[in-house]
């Protein structure tokens, strides 16, 4: 198990947390999205599971496992 955190993904004022299983899958129930305010403080969870079913597992896995140094992915996740 591994906890993954993205701070300001794509410049958005958000902090996104999730748990990756030992198999590399994202535990959909673990995803939390928090606002980041202009003063740098992080607010309470804005969004927590259940995730909308139209967000595909592949997109979620891509988002949480993307290499921050490699933004030349052929597929950008839609979340």
Q: What are phi and psi of 22, to 5 degrees?
A: -65, -20
Q: Considering the entire predicted model, what is its pTM?
A: 0.63
Question: What pLDDT digit, counting tens, does each position of 44-76 carry?
Answer: 988 766 666 666 666 777 777 665 444 443 434
Question: What pLDDT digit, counting tens, does each position of 3-45 carry?
Answer: 888 888 888 898 888 898 888 888 888 888 899 999 989 999 8
CA-to-CA distance for 44 and 55, rounded, in angstroms? 23
Write down the pLDDT at residue 57. 67
Enter the DSSP assignment of 71: -
DSSP string, 22-62: TTS-B-GGG-EEEEB-TTS-B-S-SB-SSPPTTS-HHHHHH
């Amino acid at each position: 198990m591994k906890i993954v955190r993205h701070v300001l993904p794509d410049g958005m004022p958000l902090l996104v947390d999730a748990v990756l299983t030992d198999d590399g899958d994202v535990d959909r129930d673990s995803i939390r999205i928090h606002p980041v305010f202009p003063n740098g403080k992080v607010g309470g969870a804005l969004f927590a599971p259940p995730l909308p079913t139209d967000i595909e597992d592949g997109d979620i896995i891509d988002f949480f496992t993307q290499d921050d140094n490699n933004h030349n992915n052929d597929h950008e996740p839609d979340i």
